[in-house]
Every structure is written in C-alpha cells, then in structure tokens.
Amino acid sequence: MAIEMLYFAWVREKVGVGAERIDPPATVRTVADLIAWLAARSPGHAAAFAEPDRIRAAIDDRFVGVTAVIGDAREIALFPPVTGG
C-alpha cells in the first residue's frame, strides 16, 4: 500500500523533505503506528517524531486523530498544531 506522505513546517525541516512515497508494513494500521514506524526510518524522522503527541494528521484531506485507521489512504499529511489569529 503506497502512501504519499506530506510534511509541513518544522516536521518538514526535520525530516528533510516535504513529501515522500512510502510503503509501510501491514502492521502499521493507525496514524500512531505510522508515526512510530516513520520515527525509525532516519535520524531526521526520529527528530521530527520524537514527541508524537505534538503531531497532527490529515488523511486524504480530512483532519484525523492519531487513533484513526489508515485503511487505503492515498495521502497522509503530518504537521505541527495549527496556530494563528
């Protein structure tokens, strides 16, 4: 199951790319599983996902929580909490 990953803000800076195509193992079922799996991919990924509770996600353009099942997602975006005013 190939997924297009999109990274934004400091997540992108730490990972070192804004996007990548991944093929996680079948054991990666939720966004939380995905974040843990990604953290093991490289030192940059480890730095970006060192505090997984700070990461927000969207699956196919819909905001989701970390317990959301990935299913047959085509695109997943990971980013820090949105702030502004």
Residues in the chain where the model's pLDDT stays below 50 = none
Q: Is residue 85 part of a domain?
A: no
| Separation in Å, CA 52 to CA 1, 71, 72 | 23, 20, 22
Which residues span the domain enclosing 9? 3-79
Q: Is residue 48 part of a domain?
A: yes
Q: Is residue 50 part of a domain?
A: yes
pLDDT at 82: 75
Number of domains making up the chain: 1
Tens digits of per-residue pLDDT, 8-25? Answer: 999 999 999 999 999 999
Residue 82 has a CB neighbour count (10 Å cut-off) of 9
pLDDT at 84: 60
CATH number of the domain residue 21 falls in:
3.10.20.30
Q: Is residue 58 part of a domain?
A: yes
pLDDT at 85: 55
- Which is nearest to 56 in space by CA: 68, 65, 45? 65
Q: Is residue 46 part of a domain?
A: yes
